[in-house]
């Protein structure tokens, strides 16, 4: 640790202390003057890492004699960290208790004590949720006990500096603010031995940077606590950055006291998905690091810390997440010097509402956060604060705790972004509180396989992107266990090759195949000992968390070289200036059209559709309410393609196609579709159904050998299909239309290999819609889910509600969901219950009376709660008749949807479902529908 004081008398108390094992004793019952100290223990050190006391939990006592010079003002003992509860005594008198390891605290001594004195510290490493709420047995790391960081005796005069905090105000010109908190004894008196305190003037304040005095003043210092603040412009100073970690030495002197600190001038900001240091985007590549070692426990010696930095640098890292507690300031100092950015985190691990709604727990966290901030404040390497690893951020009951803790961090330090690692990315309710979104996940380890990792990461990023648009994203944990030396031809879990393969997949996907993440912290740098509770150790061979790329003694595993190769390769390219969000089409932009349901009516942008419109039936003059209905047409082939080369030729453009003959062209098809949309909209069409697997390109078909699916067999999204869909949905958004996006079609669900793929496809489609920021789409989970041609059980009528609910949950209710059934079928209770709006099909219905009856019956199904009802497929065309299906639907206040396919002998202008097609209003049938629509809706 670099020198911190020149004037102040500071004595290190590190070394071998006398030690007594007190085991089960209650600290309140211990007479510290009557103890027998028959062992010795190293300070700093962990008594339970030492062979004599390895693995033991209990109360202990440490003792040593200190010498307080006569002629000093105050004595103060500064403990760098004690695990995890202690009580400090001087000459048998208790002075203070402290709970919680990993942070510094001070004990002020009685001014009357001079000469030699006996310092005894009771140290307890037992778990006790009342006394030490921050250290709980279930955490996934071993809680070593002891005086784990250095101890110092400070001898203070009558005026002393409590702390100095330095922050960067500007980088051009480099400008820092220095805040000195001091205390002056009251009142200074003639017999005060050292006493520059001068209440009438005469105390010197001096601030020097790299030896150059920048402030030199004489001040009046009144007794008591005080704060001095000076802003220093230092034009020649060099900035700190991970690639050029320039440091400056700041010396603050007040009277006879001083504090020396090494500072880095740098600014951390977040903007548009990026983390910037001094305005330059950085890509954070690194590891989670537990500060632990089998021989030293948490009291990792500086040589090991330096070796850690060496290995991190060797692997091309510029980032460490201090999991899951504040890192030793000595480590931060090394990170300052070597350009490693640190996420400094308060203690926390998987807390539920039980803790997070407990005032005492939250209070302990707040105190701990104060200490963490004060320890790390001046370290330029500490670029962000974190809290509460993997806690219940998805439980609204926990939100107040997140608000309190993150609020405290912002209050203490407005210069650093805040974050927490969430393992509930899909239903997190606190992410709006952070500056950087961080997610932990373990695909390929705790669930599914390495091959599933890219899709899982994409899903998470897409979701986060949709909800937390412009925030940077850090993958804050991902990894696999590997037992050091275990290389086996099967390369299964726990082998070094498995870990290598998994990490290679992750890094490639995040930074080579894509470039959307602001950072990655691999879980983890070194293996670390963990809880030996049975439920834990059975999944943690050797009692260690084995996911390190080096073992606990820092011996590299196979993955070390993989990470090294990839990080070094990636590190040579700058992060993209405008990172691509995980939207396969356009970037989410401000959307224009927002659909909602109120009762049985649809609203667009807060207004009923066709607001105020009444239509008088021509035959009878009876008034019908049109407002709130959704008239639509079945246009499911807007993104059609055929990936089967043997059938693709069927869809060649004929001579009579506008634009002429040519081979099938999916982009041309989508372009023609988009070009026709304004005409539909002008005629009163507010909605159309489009499907990720289309519909029969022949209207009705027995067999469907063509391959038209926006999903890969495993349920991933096809970029080409989704890009086409984005063009259509973007245009609809501009036009104020509300498309119904269907996910599955019975003629193509066979393209998905199994149920897991169907689920994956559902999630992917949902995440994609959200990631696009769409607020104008309705979801039709499956087209005609009672059709016997569906292969996957989960898509059939009796189970499809599972997926509908999944879409709703995943979108946090933002997507309105339904499904349709075959013509003439009234939906069963499970589907009515699961639907936000009800879709009916009118094909095969014998006449308008049955249409009316279907709507009536639907409204009587158990589970019906007044949702809007609409037909979104009906192949009836008697638009000029006095009564027809469309009018019948209107009679019952239900929307209606036109379904038109090309009939035998017809040309390219006919039909909307037969590809390729003229998407314009190009035939008598189409004109019939659009005329009646125009009349009904009053659109011109
Ligand atoms: C969690 C947790 C880590 C560690 C890891 C694992 O995500 O945040 O502390 O326990 O899992 O190895 O499973």
Closest by CA to 549, choosing from 565, 563, 537, 567, is: 563
State yes or no: pLDDT of 285 exceeds 80: yes
Contact yes or no for 809/775 (Cβ under 8 A): no
pLDDT tier, 188 (very low <50, low <70, confident <90, very high otherwise): very low
Ligand 1, atom 4: closest residue by C-alpha: 140
Instruction: Confirm or reject: Cβ of 540 under 6 Å from ligand 1.
Output: no
Instruction: Confirm or reject: Cβ of 476 under 6 Å from ligand 1.
Output: no
Per-residue pLDDT, 541: 95
pLDDT tier, 185 (very low <50, low <70, confident <90, very high otherwise): confident
Dist CA 888 CA 87 (whole Å)? 83
272: which residues sit within 8 A by CB, 6+ positions away?
470, 578, 579
Q: What six digits make up the tokens of 64?
A: 């040593």
Instruction: Confirm or reject: Cβ of 440 under 6 Å from ligand 1.
Output: yes
Instruction: Confirm or reject: Cβ of 140 under 6 Å from ligand 1.
Output: yes
> Which atom in ligand 1 lies closest to the alpha carbon of residue 389?
8
What secondary structure letter does DSSP report for 751? G
> Which atom in ligand 1 lies closest to the alpha carbon of residue 530?
10
Residue range 709-725, pLDDT digits in tens: 999 999 999 989 999 99
Mutate to test the pocket of ligand 1, among 140, 392, 438 (most ligand atoms within 8 A of CB): 140
Contact yes or no for 46/83 (Cβ under 8 A): yes
Q: What six digits make up the tokens of 276?
A: 């910037």
Per-residue pLDDT, 448: 87
When pLDDT is averaged across residues 809-820 and rounded to a whole number, the result is 90
Which one is predicted more confidently, 379 or 271? 379
What secondary structure letter does DSSP report for 872? E
For the chain, give the percent of residues with pLDDT over 90.
Answer: 87
Which value, to the nearest 10 degrees, does the dihedral of the CA atoms of residues 624, 628, 634, 639 take? Answer: 160
Q: What six digits make up the tokens of 304?
A: 């090991």
Ligand 1 centroid, distance to 423 Cα (angstroms): 10
Report the mean per-residue pLDDT for the chain.
Answer: 93
When pLDDT is averaged across residues 286-308 and rounded to a whole number, the result is 97
In angstroms, the Cα distances linking 247 to 8, 52, 238, 343, 350 are 23, 42, 8, 19, 37
Instruction: Confirm or reject: Cβ of 545 under 6 Å from ligand 1.
Output: yes
- Nearest 5 degrees, angle CA 496-CA 499-CA 505? 140
Dist CA 91 CA 543 (whole Å)? 41
Per-residue pLDDT, 193: 40
Per-residue pLDDT, 576: 60
103: which residues sit within 8 A by CB, 6+ positions away?
81, 326, 368, 371, 372, 375
267: which residues sit within 8 A by CB, 6+ positions away?
168, 170, 171, 276, 277, 278, 279, 415
pLDDT tier, 321 (very low <50, low <70, confident <90, very high otherwise): very high
Contact yes or no for 266/278 (Cβ under 8 A): yes
Dist CA 330 CA 347 (whole Å)? 18
364: which residues sit within 8 A by CB, 6+ positions away?
99, 100, 133, 134
Beta strand pairing call for 838-841 and 869-873:
parallel
Ligand 1 centroid, distance to 431 Cα (angstroms): 20
Ligand 1 centroid, distance to 391 Cα (angstroms): 12
pLDDT tier, 186 (very low <50, low <70, confident <90, very high otherwise): low
Ligand 1 centroid, distance to 389 Cα (angstroms): 9
Contact yes or no for 581/589 (Cβ under 8 A): no
State yes or no: pLDDT of 584 exceeds 90: no
How many helices (H) does the chain have, and how many strands (E)?
Answer: 18, 45
Range name among 194-198, 500-504, 675-679, 748-752 with the lowest pLDDT average:
194-198
Dist CA 282 CA 268 (whole Å)? 10
Ligand 1 centroid, distance to 286 Cα (angstroms): 16
> Which atom in ligand 1 lies closest to the alpha carbon of residue 547?
12
Ligand 1, atom 12: closest residue by C-alpha: 545
State yes or no: pLDDT of 574 exceeds 80: no
Dist CA 313 CA 308 (whole Å)? 9
Contact yes or no for 266/272 (Cβ under 8 A): no
When pLDDT is averaged across residues 878-893 and rounded to a whole number, the result is 96
In angstroms, the Cα distances linking 178 to 231, 249, 923 are 6, 13, 78
Ligand 1, atom 9: closest residue by C-alpha: 140
State yes or no: pLDDT of 63 exceeds 90: yes
* Buried residues in 186-201 as b, exposed as e (16+ CB within 10 A): eebeeeeebbbbbeee
pLDDT tier, 201 (very low <50, low <70, confident <90, very high otherwise): low
State yes or no: pLDDT of 197 exceeds 90: no
pLDDT tier, 580 (very low <50, low <70, confident <90, very high otherwise): very low
When pLDDT is averaged across residues 283-310 and rounded to a whole number, the result is 97
Instruction: Confirm or reject: Cβ of 445 under 6 Å from ligand 1.
Output: no
Dist CA 813 CA 597 (whole Å)? 12
Ligand 1 centroid, distance to 685 Cα (angstroms): 52
Ligand 1 centroid, distance to 568 Cα (angstroms): 26
SS3 304: helix
- The alpha carbon of 771 is separated from its chain's Cα centroid by a whole number of angstroms, namely 14
State yes or no: pLDDT of 838 exceeds 60: yes
Instruction: Confirm or reject: Cβ of 477 under 6 Å from ligand 1.
Output: yes
Ligand 1 centroid, distance to 101 Cα (angstroms): 20
State yes or no: pLDDT of 540 exceeds 90: yes
State yes or no: pLDDT of 36 exceeds 90: yes
Residue range 903-925, pLDDT digits in tens: 999 999 999 999 999 999 999 99
End-to-end CA distance of the chain: 79
pLDDT tier, 72 (very low <50, low <70, confident <90, very high otherwise): confident
């Amino acid at each position: 640790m670099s020198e911190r004081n020149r004037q102040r008398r500071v004595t290190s108390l590190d070394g071998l202390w006398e030690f007594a094992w007190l085991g089960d004793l209650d600290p309140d019952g211990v007479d510290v003057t009557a103890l027998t100290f028959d062992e010795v223990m190293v300070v700093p050190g962990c008594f339970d890492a030492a062979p004599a006391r390895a693995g033991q939990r209990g109360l202990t006592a440490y003792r040593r004699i200190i010498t307080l010079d006569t002629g000093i003002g105050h004595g103060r003992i500064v403990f760098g960290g004690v695990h995890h509860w202690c009580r400090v005594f001087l000459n048998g008198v208790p002075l203070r208790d402290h709970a919680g390891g990993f942070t510094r605290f001070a004990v002020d001594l009685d001014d009357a004590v001079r000469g030699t004195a006996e310092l005894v510290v009771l140290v307890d490493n037992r778990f006790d949720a009342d006394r030490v709420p921050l250290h709980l047995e279930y955490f996934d790391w071993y809680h070593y006990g002891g005086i784990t960081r250095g101890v110092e005796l400070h001898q203070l005069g009558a005026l002393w500096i409590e702390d100095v905090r330095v922050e960067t105000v500007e980088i051009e010109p480099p400008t820092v603010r220095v805040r000195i908190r001091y205390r002056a004894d009251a009142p200074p008196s003639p017999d005060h031995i050292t006493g520059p305190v001068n209440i009438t003037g005469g105390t010197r304040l001096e601030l020097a940077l790299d030896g150059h005095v920048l402030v030199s003043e004489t001040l009046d210092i009144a007794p008591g606590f005080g704060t001095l603040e000076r802003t220093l412009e230092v034009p020649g100073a060099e900035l700190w950055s991970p690639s050029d970690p320039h440091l400056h030495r700041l010396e603050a002197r007040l009277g006879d006291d001083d504090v020396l600190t090494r500072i880095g001038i740098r600014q951390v900001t977040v903007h548009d998905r990026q983390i910037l240091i001094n305005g330059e985007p950085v890509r954070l590549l690194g590891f989670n690091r537990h500060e632990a070692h089998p021989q030293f426990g948490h009291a990792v010696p500086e040589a090991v810390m330096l070796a850690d930095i060496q290995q991190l640098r060797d692997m091309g890292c510029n980032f460490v997440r201090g999991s899951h507690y504040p890192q030793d300031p000595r480590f931060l100092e090394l990170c300052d010097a070597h350009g490693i950015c640190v996420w400094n985190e308060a203690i926390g691990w998987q807390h539920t509402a039980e803790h997070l709604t407990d005032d005492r727990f939250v209070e302990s966290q707040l105190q701990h956060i104060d200490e963490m901030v004060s320890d790390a404040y001046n370290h330029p390497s500490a670029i962000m604060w974190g809290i509460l690893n993997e806690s219940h951020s998805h439980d609204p009951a926990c939100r107040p705790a997140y608000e309190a803790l993150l609020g405290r961090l912002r209050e203490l330090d407005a210069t650093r972004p805040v974050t927490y690692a969430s393992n509930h990315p899909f239903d997190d309710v606190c992410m709006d509180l952070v500056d950087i979104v961080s997610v932990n996940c373990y695909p390929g380890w705790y669930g599914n396989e390495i091959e599933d990792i890219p899709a899982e990461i994409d899903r998470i990023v897409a979701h986060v992107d949709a909800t937390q648009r412009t925030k940077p994203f850090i993958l804050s944990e991902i990894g696999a266990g590997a037992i050091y030396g275990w290389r086996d031809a099967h390369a299964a879990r726990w082998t070094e090759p498995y870990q290598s393969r998994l990490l290679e997949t992750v890094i490639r996907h995040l930074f080579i195949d894509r470039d959307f993440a602001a950072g990655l912290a691999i879980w983890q740098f070194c293996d670390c000992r963990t809880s030996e509770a049975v439920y834990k150790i059975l999944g943690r061979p050797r009692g260690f968390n084995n996911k390190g790329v080096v073992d606990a003694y820092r011996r590299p595993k196979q993955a070390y070289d993989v990470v090294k190769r990839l990080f070094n390769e990636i590190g040579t390219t700058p992060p993209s200036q405008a990172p691509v969000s995980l939207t396969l089409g356009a970037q989410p932009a401000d959307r224009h059209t927002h659909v909602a349901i109120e009762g049985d009516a649809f609203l667009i942008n807060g207004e009923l559709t066709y607001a105020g419109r009444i239509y008088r039936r021509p035959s009878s003059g009876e008034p019908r309410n049109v407002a709130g209905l959704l008239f639509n047409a079945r246009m499911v082939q807007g993104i059609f393609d055929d990936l089967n080369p043997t059938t693709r030729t069927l869809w060649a453009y004929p001579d009579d196609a506008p634009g002429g003959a040519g081979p099938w062209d999916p982009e041309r098809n989508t372009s023609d579709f988009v070009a026709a949309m304004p005409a539909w909209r002008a005629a009163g069409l507010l909605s159309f159904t489009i499907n990720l697997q289309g519909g029969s390109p022949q209207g009705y078909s027995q067999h469907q050998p063509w391959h038209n699916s926006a999903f890969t067999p495993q349920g991933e999204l096809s970029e080409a299909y989704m890009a086409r869909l984005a063009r259509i949905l973007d245009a609809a958004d501009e036009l104020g239309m509300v498309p119904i996006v269907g996910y599955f079609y019975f003629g193509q669900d066979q393209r998905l290999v199994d149920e897991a793929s169907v689920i994956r496809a559902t999630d992917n489609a949902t995440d994609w819609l959200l990631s696009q920021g769409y607020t104008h789409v309705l979801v039709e989970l499956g087209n005609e889910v009672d059709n016997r041609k569906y292969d996957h059980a989960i898509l059939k009528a009796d189970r499809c509600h599972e997926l509908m609910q999944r879409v709703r949950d995943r979108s946090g209710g933002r997507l309105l969901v339904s499904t349709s059934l075959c013509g003439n079928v009234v939906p069963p209770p499970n589907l009515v219950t699961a639907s936000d709006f009800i879709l009916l099909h009118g094909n095969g219905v014998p006449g308008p009376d049955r249409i009316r009856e279907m709507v009536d019956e639907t409204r009587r199904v158990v589970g019906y709660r007044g949702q809007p009802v609409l037909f979104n497929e009906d192949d009836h065309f008697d638009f000029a008749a006095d009564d027809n299906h469309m009018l019948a639907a209107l009679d019952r206040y239900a929307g209606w949807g036109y379904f038109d396919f090309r009939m035998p002998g017809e040309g390219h202008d006919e039909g909307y479902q037969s590809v390729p097609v003229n998407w314009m209003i190009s035939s008598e049938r189409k004109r019939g529908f659009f005329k009646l629509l125009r009349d009904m809706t009053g659109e011109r």
